[in-house]
Chain A
Amino acid sequence: MKPLFAVFALTLAAGCAPATQAPAAVAVTGAWCRAAPVGALAGGCYLTLTASADDRLVSVATPAAKRAEIHSMDMTGGVMRMRQLKDGLALPAGKAVTLKPGAEHLMIIGPKQVLAAGGAVPLTLTFKKAPPQTISAPIRDAAAPAMQHHGGH
């Protein structure tokens, strides 16, 4: 397992090397966790996953919280609804799947550390085919949603 992981890490480090003949691999980019208020009982983390072959994000774990789950979020009719994606999240080959505010996210439940900007959250992502990988997601203050979709006016 170890060597495989090392090779994989190298591939990642190499940056934009085209997904070559390597076995199933998932590139993880742009990971971050939302800074949460002190006393918050949950937090959100976001990232972009690009699988080299059809795959699935199956679960996520972190020592920084009691548990972590993969969630969807929906705002239809002004009502916020979150659901755990029990079967995980499909990662079609070559397609960047972005988990972002207002949509799919990783939910960190019962944080054991304060989720303060400047810190980081270790996240272990488990895939159906690709080997698991552990990343460190920096904690950032979230931009206000209004600044993200600027359509209005």
Chain B
Amino acid sequence: MRVLAWAAMAAALGVSACGPSPQKAETTQPTVRIGGPFQLVDTAGRPVTEKALLGKPTVIFFGFTYCPEVCPTTMAELTNWLKALGPDADRLNVVFVSLDPERDTPAQLKTYLSNFDPRIQGFTGTPETVAAAAKAYRVYYAKVPTDDGGYTIDHSSAVYLFDKNGGFVEPIGYGTPAERAIGQLRRLARG
């Protein structure tokens, strides 16, 4: 878990600086691979893998519907950003992956996402397949028990951007000003 946390942190902090860096630095350093194979289900319960995301750039966020603040805020912002993007938004896959498959059934995810831009897809799975997906995406999360016998989930809060080949591009950190986030998404959509 530690390692994942550091990786997530490095990703969130290191690349979010919004620098110009138009040319890809793919050869210079051994980078942490973010993204990879997963086997999840969509809000209709249909199996879905990373292959469904190839061919279009992808915007992906890992969260849970029990989350009172970071997740609904991020989904509301994503909804606003997609609106601001106009037609460019249709060039993107936008995905919310639940880190709480025990409570976030496909139906629960569907209800939750009905509040937001209909282009936001929801993926969930079993605890095992979700753990595997989170690992592939270097997303840190940890279940924390609460007094009432329930639990909450600590989790990475950034939105991750991938190119159409599944290559990691950069994160959008939580609380990023809309203007900047929309710029990141527009570059991604047009890239």
Using a CB–CB cutoff of 8 Å, the interface residues on chain A facing chain B are 34, 36-44, 67, 69, 73, 75, 77-84, 86, 101-102, 105, 107-109, 142, 144-147, 149-150, 152-153
Contact = CB atoms under 8 A, between A and B. Distances in A.
Interface stretch (B19-27, B29-37, B49-57, B145-153): B145-153
A36 B73 CA distance: 9
* Chain B: interface size category: 35 or more
B73 A142 contact: yes
B147 A86 contact: yes
A124 B8 CA distance: 39
A84 B154 CA distance: 12
A79 B175 contact: no
A83 B180 CA distance: 31
Contact of A40 (B5, B65, B144, B171): B65
Interface string B161-186: 00000000001011111111100000
Closest CB pairs A-B (n = 5): A78-B12, A39-B111, A37-B115, A77-B9, A44-B68
Contact of A80 (B70, B150, B171, B177): B70
Nearest to B145: A84
Contacts of A79: 5, 8-9, 140, 154-157
Given A39-B112, A144-B178, A78 B69 contact: no
A77 B13 contact: yes
A34 B157 contact: no
